């Protein structure tokens, strides 16, 4: 295997499992080592008991917390009890505060709540990557290196959005623009199923934040149409 980070996707829903694997394929620093559909399969994969999974290459587990044969907290405790040296990132609809608190107390490195679009997923993984890079030297570390590593994990919290803009819609806008490369307000409205006014408000708001670029598109007649692309 290359120096990419090996990931085990633990997800019982087939569509979600494929989506997470596809998202990981867009990030060149990560590689899917295998997919587990149950708690039993996840623990077997980490123990090297599933031939289709490269257990020795797994460094990160993307963990759904609600599996048909066990809760994610039980899996995390079992992994810690067995002293399996992997990082764990819940990717789940489980948003109960007590569940989140217990997961954090068990040492998860990130926590991503469904539903989400690719930009949110990428942000969490990039923050995790920065964390690993900051702690990758081995040996003793200084206080500043520890602070830098912890700050890397916190860096996935993106800037505060303008009033009236939802994170879910923002992620949808960014994901759509990444797929289309560029779009006008009318084109984005059609893709997202929102009004043109709403699409333009989000595009202008993200452009003001520096997340998007405004570029005139010149056609055959009339005034140029303003299109937006990722900065």
CATH number at residue 62: 3.40.50.2300
In the chain, % of residues over pLDDT 70 = 87
In the chain, % of residues over pLDDT 90 = 49
Query: Which one is predicted more confidently, 208 or 48?
Result: 48
pLDDT confidence of 157, banded at 50, 70, 90? Answer: very low
Sign of the CA dihedral running 93, 118, 31, 14: positive
The answer to whether residues 16 and 107 belong to one domain is yes
Domain count, the chain: 2
- As a whole number, the mean pLDDT across the chain is 86
The answer as to whether 155 is a domain residue is no
The pLDDT tens digits of the residues spanning 11-26 come to 999 999 999 999 999 9
Residues 159-179 have a mean pLDDT of 81
The whole domain housing 190 covers: 167-230
Distances (CA, A) of 211 to 2, 19, 93: 32, 24, 27
CATH code for the domain of 184 = 1.10.10.10
pLDDT confidence of 185, banded at 50, 70, 90? Answer: very high
Residues 171-183 have a mean pLDDT of 88
Q: What is the pTM assigned to this prediction? A: 0.67
């Amino acid at each position: 295997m290359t120096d990419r980070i090996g990931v085990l996707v633990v997800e019982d829903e087939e569509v979600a499992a494929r989506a997470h694997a596809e998202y990981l394929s867009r990030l060149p620093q990560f590689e899917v080592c295998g997919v587990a559909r149950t708690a039993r399969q996840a623990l077997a994969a980490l123990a090297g008991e599933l031939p289709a999974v490269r257990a020795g290459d797994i460094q990160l587990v993307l963990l759904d917390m609600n599996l048909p044969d066990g809760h994610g907290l039980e899996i995390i405790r079992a992994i810690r009890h067995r002293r399996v040296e992997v990082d764990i990132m819940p990717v789940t609809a489980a948003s109960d505060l007590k569940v989140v608190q217990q997961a954090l107390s068990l040492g998860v490195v990130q926590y991503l709540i469904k539903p989400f679009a690719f930009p949110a997923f990428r942000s969490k993984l990039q923050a995790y990557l920065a964390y690993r890079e900051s702690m990758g030297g081995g040996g003793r570390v200084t206080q500043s290196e520890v602070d830098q590593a912890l700050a890397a994990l916190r860096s996935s919290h993106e800037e505060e959005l303008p009033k009236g803009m939802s994170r879910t819609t923002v992620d949808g806008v960014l994901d759509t623009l990444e797929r289309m490369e560029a779009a006008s307000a009318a084109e984005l409205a059609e893709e997202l199923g929102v009004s043109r006014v709403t699409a333009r408000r989000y595009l202008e708001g993200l452009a003001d934040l520096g997340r998007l670029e405004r570029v005139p598109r010149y056609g055959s007649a009339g005034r140029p149409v303003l299109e937006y692309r990722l900065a």
